[in-house]
Amino acid sequence: MTLKAPHEVVIRFHEIALKGKNRPVFIRQLVDNVRRATAGIGVKNVWAGRLLVRVSLEETADWNVVRERISRVFGAVKFAPSYRTELSYDEIAKTVSSIAADRPFKSFRISAHRADKAFPLTSYELNVKLGDMVKVQTGARVDLKNPDLDIRLDIMLREAFVWADEYPADGGLPVGTGGRVTVLMSGGIDSPVATWRMMRRGCRATLVHFHSFPLVEGRSREKAQELAGLLNAYQYDTRLYLVPFANIQQRVILTVPGPLRVVAYRRFMIRVAEAIGRREGAKALVTGESLGQVSSQTLQNMATVGEVATMPVLRPLVGMDKEEIIEQSQHIGTFDTSILPDEDCCTLFVPKSPSTAVHSEQIAAYEEEMDIPQMVADAVGGAELFEYHFPPA
């Protein structure tokens, strides 16, 4: 007998993080997010238990799709497909037997748990009886400590659930519980990872991308749109602002000496992103900077750039190295898009070795020659807005 698609998915969340009086808020958001993430793929119902969220599936549901969708819901730590059976020993035994027949294993254990103590067999009796059956069926031995296969059994009030496989999810907190941030998202590897890490802490992210079109041809606008679509799978609704940066750059080139230009560009990006963020109700800005990665990301330059912000500037990758960031970007699914060639707008008219220590007094002198509020307002006014919703239509 081959194993059929599971009837239900049991999702476990991070108990510790969800403790306290806000617990119901977190759980409600988690349930909402699971509903949203699994819309249109044969999910019947989603509801919360005390320590888990349950998802019931139509018979037609494609387990691989369900699995992929649930694995992206922040707050979920692990999840297990499970099989519902009638409350009779024979029916339970049939399901246990089909799970055991589905795969090779040398050792196993049965872990029964009775939520309803009225069931005629105790958990211990179930473990022994079913264990004997599986031994005879497969020749495998019982190992209580470190089995290849752990067949778990939940005896509920009206039904029983049998399950054996558990899949990891990313943990974190449900998106929507942490407030809104505005992310400065380039088309590179780092800032999409920074976005993901903030979403994983429960934040909703509004994305702001600066492009130098038509100063440079280049795919950065398309890349930003593609990345926004990918990241949207984690937060279900996303707004992306594509901001024209060419005018600001031309003005900076005329005013600011080469070695200081990257920092000057970045200060403008921060100002524009903050103006957009304020409109969006964001509480912080986020960048993909990591300390010392490139010359513009020295502590001094970060300080000089961050200084023009009135909101906190969060840098979730600050202590990570490139290897770790690349690994995460592959895990998230943004890597392949991030490495597509494009022209980074900040390399325009910048010398090969820009200054690693630009102080604010140095740059402020040049900034006085520019009408900053007007330049920022023009950039914000010229921004194009793109919206993404999950699942994509």
Give 26 or 234: the residue with its C-beta nearer to ligand ATP. Answer: 234
Q: How far is the CB of 244 from Mg ion (least distance, A)?
A: 18
Reference 260, options 319, 202, 290, 304; nearest CA is 304
Q: What is the dihedral of CA 134, 138, 143, 144, to 10 degrees?
A: -20
Residues 6 or more apart whose CB falls under 8 angstroms from that of 371 comprise none
Among 99, 140, 175, 184, binds ligand ATP (CB under 6 A): 184
Using the minimum distance from each CB to ligand ATP, give the nearer residue, 96 or 252: 252
Identity of residue 320: M
Q: Does 341 sit behind a cis peptide bond, omega within 30 degrees of 0 on the bond before it?
A: no
Q: Give 373: exposed, middle or buried? Use CB within 10 Å, 0-12, 13-18, 19+.
A: exposed
| Dihedral sign (CA 26, 30, 31, 32) | positive
> Smallest distance from the beta carbon of 220 to Mg ion, in angstroms?
10
Cβ neighbors of 217 (< 8 A, separation 6 or more) are: 343
Tell me which of ligand ATP, Mg ion, none is bound by residue 385, counting a contact when its beta carbon lies within the kind-specific cut-off of 5 to 8 angstroms: none
- Return the number of the residue (33 or 186) whose C-beta is nearest ligand ATP: 186
Q: Give the number of C-alpha atoms closer than 13 A to the C-alpha of residue 381, restricted to the C-beta side.
A: 7
End-to-end alpha carbon distance in the chain = 38
In the list 56, 111, 293, 360, the residue contacting ligand ATP (rule: CB under 6 A) is 293
| 332 forms part of the interface with ligand ATP (CB under 6 A) | no
CB 325, min distance to ligand ATP, A:
8
In whole angstroms, how close is the CB of 207 to ligand ATP at the nearest point?
8
Backbone angles phi, psi at 81, to 5 degrees: -75, 135
Comparing CB distances to Mg ion, the nearer of 101 and 340 is: 340
Q: Which stretch binds ligand ATP (CB under 6 A): 45-53, 179-187, 276-284, 356-364?
A: 179-187
Strands 167-168 and 76-85, sheet pairing: antiparallel
With CB under 6 A as the contact rule, the residue among 34, 189, 332, 358 that binds ligand ATP is: 189
CB of 273 to ligand ATP, least distance (A): 7
For residue 53, report the phi and psi dihedrals to the nearest 5 degrees.
Answer: -115, 135
Instruction: Rule CB under 6 A: choose which of 127, 191, 206, 249 binds ligand ATP.
Output: 191
Residues 343-372 that bind ligand ATP (CB under 6 A): 344-346
In the complex, what is the shortest distance from the CB of residue 27 to ligand ATP, in angstroms, rounded to a whole number? 33
C-alpha pair distances (Å), 153 with each of 84, 89, 176 = 10, 11, 33
Torsion-angle region of 123 (φ positive above 0: left; ψ -120 to 50: alpha; else: beta): alpha
Q: How far is the CB of 163 from ligand ATP (least distance, A)?
A: 40
> With CB under 6 A as the contact rule, which of the stretches 12-20, 36-44, 189-197, 350-358 interacts with ligand ATP?
189-197
Contact status: 328 vs ligand ATP (CB under 6 A): no
**Residues facing 194 on adjacent strands:** none
Tokens linked to 355: 């200054």
210 belongs to the binding site for ligand ATP (CB under 6 A):
yes
Decide: is 294 part of the binding site for ligand ATP (CB under 6 A). yes
Site for ligand ATP in 260-289 (CB under 6 A): 269, 287-289
In the structure, how many helices (H) and strands (E) does the chain have?
13, 15
Residues 139-198 close enough to bind Mg ion by CB under 5 A: 186, 188
As measured in angstroms, the least distance from the Cβ of 315 to Mg ion is 14
Write down the least CB distance from residue 183 to ligand ATP, Å. Answer: 7
Residue with tokens 């387990």: 63
Paired strand residues for 162: 83, 153
User: For binding to Mg ion (CB under 5 A), which residues are involved?
Assistant: 186, 188
User: For binding to ligand ATP (CB under 6 A), which residues are involved?
Assistant: 184-186, 188-191, 209-210, 269, 287-289, 293-294, 296-297, 344-346
